[in-house]
Amino acid sequence: MKINSHSLVVRLAGLLAIAACAFILLGPVGAVPLTAVDEKSVRAVVEGQLAAFANDDALKAFSYAAPNVQKAVTTAAGFLAMVRNDYPIIYRPASVAFLKPEGKDNQVIQRVQMLDANGNPWLAIYSLQRQKNKAWLITGCVVTQNKGRMA
């Protein structure tokens, strides 16, 4: 069986997102919750990356990826190709609805409800981490069919 390097990255991103979710939900008591500014910044990062995908701007889309993702994928062109092939809903959503981000300290989960071109509902769960320069970057994304109602 041949293992596709893109599939490996998809699995890695999924595991990282799940780990981030667990960290946030089980994080230390007394951790600092997100501020309104952080919530806006997190949303802006995801929106920026989605806009970059819509414009096929590989360099811009790659710039929103955290170092762990950049290291795993290595090039902006490879990143765009991976998203186009493995995450078509992220690459070209018909519509998006952002839910309130959740997190503490330097870890955040941003859920985004999406519809594909056929009207099928999806839930994209982004994990983001605040970097040393205080910028938020995307560490992973898991996409699943959204069986609940849309926001």
CATH of the domain at 18: 3.10.450.50
Average pLDDT over residues 128-145: 95
Average pLDDT over residues 31-38: 83
Q: Is residue 21 part of a domain?
A: yes
Confidence of residue 23 (pLDDT cuts 50, 70, 90): very low
- The domain tally of the chain equals 1
Q: Is residue 137 part of a domain?
A: yes
CA 82 vs. chain centroid, Å, equals 14
Q: What is the pLDDT of residue 8?
A: 47
The rounded percent of the chain whose pLDDT value lies above 70 is 76
Q: Is residue 151 part of a domain?
A: no
Q: What mean pLDDT is reported for the chain?
A: 85
Q: Is residue 150 part of a domain?
A: no
The Cα–Cα gap between 72 and 87 comes to 16
What is the extent of the structural domain holding 94? Answer: 5-145
Amino acid making up residue 10:
V
Q: What is the pLDDT of residue 30?
A: 47
Average pLDDT over residues 133-142: 96
The helix (run of H) or strand (run of E) holding residue 15 is helix 5-26
Is the predicted pLDDT of residue 26 greater than 90, yes or no? no
